[in-house]
Amino acid sequence: MSRQIGEVILDLKNVSLSFGGVKALTDISFDVREHEIRAIIGPNGAGKSSMLNVINGVYRPQQGDIILRGRRFSRMNPYEAAKAGISRTFQNIALFKGMNVIDNLMTGRNLKIRSNLIQQAFWWGPARREELAHRAKVEEVIDFLEIQHIRKTPVGRLPYGLQKRVDLGRALAMEPSILLLDEPMAGMNVEEKQDMCRFILDVNDQFGTTIVLIEHDMAVVMDISDRVVVLDYGKKIGDGAPDEVRANPEVITAYLGASH
Amino acid sequence: MLYRENGQFKTSYAADQQIFPIAQDRWAIVGLLLFAFVGIPLLVDEYLLRAILIPFLILSLAALGVNILVGFCGQITLGAGAFMAVGAYAAYNFHIRIEGLPLLLSFLLGGLTAAAVGIFFGIPSLRVRGLYLAVATLAAQFFTDWVFLRVPWFTDNASSGSVSVSNLQVLGWQIATPVDKYLFCLGWLVVFALLAKNMTRSAIGRQWMAIRDMDVAAEVIGIRPLFAKLSAFAVSSFFVGTAGTLWGFIHLSSWEPAAFSVDRSFQLLFMVIIGGLGSIMGSFFGAAFIVILPIALNQFLPAFGGLFGVTISTAGVSHAELIVFGALIIFFLIKEPHGIARLWSTAKEKLRLWPFPH
């Protein structure tokens, strides 16, 4: 690959998160470098999705810091995260079901819209111009993801695989610098997985987007990611290049179970 | 065959994003507006204007407001009547207390006051939703009922609690006859419907719908729930408030708080449910349906009973009205949650393919 992996862009330090008595994450630290594809893996309930939710501020960790491009956030919130260029997709698709594909992607442009409510109500110069400019951007995403034929379909009517793709599209429409993908390939057939892998690699390659990804398909993870973090019961048990992680005895135990 | 978009290619996003992208729709709407502005005043008698068309126009405007909040932003409200009352009484106070204030301006100020009150009663929506929010907005209803009945200042110390206005003039145009009133309400409604459509097709509308459909995802892409919800409350209350001013000033011209009771709130909510949640068109369908149904039943039921030799009393008809409303609401909630508007768009889809549906 021609892309250059850069400096640390996102650094998580000693993050702990609990819900009442349940410890979801215990003292987890890892970093993400610019332009890399960083995978988070682990058995079910290991705290992977909680980790993503901490990164973009949906959950607030009791302890620990998130350092984004040198800026320290002890508590992130979703709005700040979005403004800082973090976007994400969801494990169980969280699209806006009542809206069509274009409108779903247009919501991704929301933070870039400057015109106010009154201008929009009158469809006045700036509001109208913006609407057209963002539509053009959204069409680029539509072309990129090859979903031209469904652009005016309400997303509730789309099959699962395409909904996943639109979900990715909405995140891409934000032109993020960091993209968090929560099981982008869950429940897909082989062909759809291949398509999704291609899109992820293309995003990373063409736009230089840093990608943090949770995935259960080990073949996919080992193939496309640069570095892998392994979580188990909310603790970090492995971190490194795919090959190192695969050889890590603790990781093997977590996945296959230990012999007692 | 007649309703086809074949050959109507769009070569720019501007053309693709217009309100009526299909040419036939554009002609239909132009024809409808011409008929409404020119044809109806020539053809229709005063009774029909006063009893059906003016209430229909004003309630459409109110339903449009309720639909923005309930249908587009997903925040349920039972306080629409209250915001109508606030609009009407606020406009009344501006009208009598500020000498020489143009009528249009006092209408708009009435709407703005309603918007402010709407924002205030919308604050609970940041914490609660669904039924709990409905109860919180119901509080607005009872609160305004009480205020306008008990605080004499708002009704200019009228002993009966009822207020009246007369001699209405807009930009030198004396609004006296039913035709004047009809044209004024129609013009007002057309402008506001256009504003509503513009909002729902631009960024603010998408924010509302995003909050309605999936609020966590909306937050993650940078939509602030606080702004989205409260702006929906403000815009909705503004629409409903101006509908209240029209109802008071133009339709009734003398009114008391009972004109904006909780029944009105329910009626508006029913309009939106039956007409179509999240559809501008649906607000009109719902209003038409609810205004016309009682009158139709009045004409039709006694005749229908007569066929079987049963006499149906007036009380019987008004009871039947409630029964039919209830049944229809249950029907729509179960069978077609998107209301008449969805039936309409399905019919249009079918018409586009007719007569070769394959």
B191-212 pLDDT, tens digit per residue, is: 999 999 999 999 999 999 999 9
d(C-alpha B21, C-alpha B16), whole Å: 6
Which of A175, A199, A219 finishes a domain?
A175
Residues A181 and A81 in one domain: yes
Considering only alpha carbons, which residue of chain A is nearest residue B279? A98
pLDDT (0 to 100) of residue A186: 87
The CATH number assigned to the domain holding A48 equals 3.40.50.300
Give the DSSP per-residue string, chain A: --PPP-SEEEEEEEEEEEETTEEEEEEEEEEEETT-EEEEE-STTSSHHHHHHHHTTSS--SEEEEEETTEEESS--HHHHHHTTEEE--SS----TTSBHHHHHHHTTGGG----HHHHHTT-HHHHHHHHHHHHHHHHHHHHTT-GGGTTSBGGGS-HHHHHHHHHHHHHHT--SEEEEESTTTT--HHHHHHHHHHHHHHHHHS--EEEEE-S-HHHHHHH-SEEEEEETTEEEEEE-HHHHHH-HHHHHHHH----
Rg of chain B over Cα atoms, rounded to whole angstroms, equals: 21
Give every CB contact of residue A205 below 8 A, 6+ residues apart in sequence: A1, A2, A3
Q: Is residue A195 located within the same domain as residue A183?
A: yes
Task: Kindly list the residues from chain A whose CB atom is less than 8 angstroms away from the CB atom of residue B202.
Answer: 115, 120, 123, 127, 131
Among chain A residues, the shortest Cα distance to B225 is held by A79
Examine the fold and report which residue of A175, A197, A212 is the final residue of a domain before the chain moves on.
Answer: A175
Here the tokens at position B9 are 């290619």
For residue range B11-26, list pLDDT tens digits in order.
888 888 888 888 888 8
The SS3 assignment for B293 reads helix
pLDDT digits (tens, 9 = 90+) for A217-259: 888 888 999 999 999 988 999 999 999 988 888 888 887 766 6
pLDDT for the residue B129? 82
Which chain A residues are Cβ-neighbours of B342 within 8 angstroms? none
| Out of A99, A103, A120, closest to residue B199 by CB | A120
Residues of B with CB under 8 A from a CB of A: 13-14, 17, 195, 198-199, 202-207, 209-210, 212-214, 216-224, 231, 235, 278
Cβ neighbours of A139 in B, within 8 Å = 13
d(CA B336, CA B282): 12
Residues A23 and A75 in one domain: yes
Please tell me the distance in Å from B342's CA to the nearest CA on chain A.
Answer: 13
Closest A-chain CA to B232: A117
Are A110 and B203 an interchain contact pair (Cβ–Cβ within 8 Å)? yes
ipTM over 0.85: yes
Interface mutation target, options A87, A90, A110, chain B, most CBs of B under 10 Å: A110
In chain B, which ranges are continuous DSSP H helix? 13-16, 23-34, 40-43, 46-48, 54-67, 80-97, 103-122, 131-150, 178-200, 203-213, 215-220, 225-245, 262-275, 280-307, 314-335, 339-353
Exposed/middle/buried for residue A7 (C-beta within 10 Å: 0-12, 13-18, 19+): exposed
Q: What is the mean pLDDT of residues B58-82?
A: 93
Is A32 in the same domain as A70? yes
Residue found by looking up tokens 């301006």 in the block: B105
Percent of chain B topping pLDDT 90: 42
Q: Does the pLDDT at position A1 exceed 60?
A: no
pLDDT in tens, A110-128: 999 888 888 998 988 888 9
Closest partner residue to B213 (CB to CB) among A88, A97, A113 is: A97
Residue of B nearest to A115 (CA): B203
- Cβ within 8 Å, pair B221-A122: no
Please tell me whether residues A183 and A76 are part of one structural domain.
Answer: yes
Say if A90 falls within a structural domain: no
A163 touches chain B (CB under 8 A): no
Residue A154 and residue A188 in contact, taking contact as beta carbons nearer than 8 Å: no
Instruction: Note which residues in 73-92 of chain A have CB less than 8 A from chain B.
Output: 78-79, 81-83, 87-88, 90
Q: Are B83 and B118 in contact (CB under 8 A)?
A: yes
Q: Which of A24-28, B126-130, B182-186 has the lowest mean pLDDT?
A: B126-130
Strand A86-88 and strand A178-182: pairing? parallel
The 3 state secondary structure assigned to A76-113 is: CCHHHHHHCCEEECCCCCCCCCCCEHHHHHHHCCHHHC
Report pLDDT for A259: 61
DSSP state of B175: -
Q: Which residues of A touch B199 (CB under 8 A)?
A: 117, 120-121
Half-sphere exposure of A54 (CA within 13 A, CB side): 32
Angle between helices B131-150 and B103-122 (to 10 degrees): 130
Inside any domain, residue A42: yes
Q: At B22, is the secondary structure helix, strand, or coil? A: coil
- At the second CATH level, the architecture of B24-353 is Orthogonal Bundle (1.10)
Q: Are residues A157 and A227 in the same domain?
A: no
| Nearest in space to B341 (alpha carbons), one of B286, B293, B250, B276 | B276
Instruction: Count chain A–chain B contacts defined by CB atoms under 8 A.
Output: 102
Chain mean position to CA B200: 15
Cβ of B214 and A94 within 8 Å?
A: yes
Residue in the structure block whose two tokens are 């039921």? B301
**How many folded domains does chain A comprise?**
2
Query: Which residues of chain B are within 8 Å of residue A97 when distances are taken between CB atoms?
Result: 213-214
The verdict on a CB contact (< 8 Å) between A56 and B220 is yes
- Name the minimum distance, in Å, from the CA of A14 to any CA of chain B: 23
Two tokens at B349? 């889809």
Query: Looking at A123, A143, A175, which one is the last position of a domain?
Result: A175
Predicted pLDDT of residue B116: 96
Q: Look at A97 and B214 and tell me if their CB atoms are within 8 Å.
A: yes
Identify the closest residue of chain A to B217 by CA–CA distance. Answer: A94
> Domains of chain B: which residue ranges?
24-353
Same domain, A239 and A182: yes
Task: Report how far apart, in Å, the C-alpha atoms of B107 and of each of A50, B36, B83, B182, B250 are.
Answer: 51, 23, 13, 16, 11
Give the residue numbers spanning the domain of A103. Answer: 95-175
DSSP B174: E
The phi, psi pair for A114, rounded to 5°, reads -105, -25
